[in-house]
Amino acid sequence: MDTERKNVITLKGNAFTLIGPEIKVGDKAPEFTALAGDLSAVTLAASKGKTRLLIAVPSLDTPVCDAETRRFNEEAAKLSNVETIVISMDLPFAQGRFCQTAGIKNIKTLSDHRDASFGKAYGVLIKELRLLARAVFVVDAHDVVQYVEIVKDVATPPNYDAALNALKQKANA
């Protein structure tokens, strides 16, 4: 049975339940399987040896998620040996169209729509909406979680500076 954590996040003043464990700094990063644009399965292990920036968003088809993805795409271009992945419940085809239209070339998008594997493993699956909460995780090359932000109000962006500082410290270590 999946762990349920009530009242962790809100959207427009309404509290929601997250399914999955609370991931903390120092935890071993959970494995997951999500779909790439060509419907191939992608796992955390696929980027082993790199620092990973894992960004969960509710949907690329919303203004905050759009702006967040564009910002991290710009920042990712400045980093080396970092794999930046945006994960949502959007279908892979919709993610592909978004990336093409928005000129997103420096990050990977993965779809969690099939099994909610990422959402459940990282504790960011919104039970009532079957969407992912807005969250940012930095996972080092040894699969240890180095930074976690679960954004309290889903309609607000993450703390870009804190996430990027944590990422740069690990990427340059």
Catalytic residues: 65
Return the structure tokens found at 12: 């427009």
- Please report, for residues 28, 32, 58, 110, the alpha-carbon distance to residue 142 in angstroms, rounded to integers and kept in the order given: 9, 16, 27, 21
Question: Residue 69, class by beta-carbon neighbours within 10 Å (0-12 exposed, 13-18 middle, 19+ buried)?
Answer: buried
Return the structure tokens found at 78: 């400045």
Query: How far apart (Å, rounded) are the C-alpha atoms in residues 34 and 42?
Result: 5
Q: Cβ distance 35 to 137 under 8 Å?
A: no
Residue type for position 111: S
Handedness of CA 165, 125, 59, 144 (dihedral sign): positive
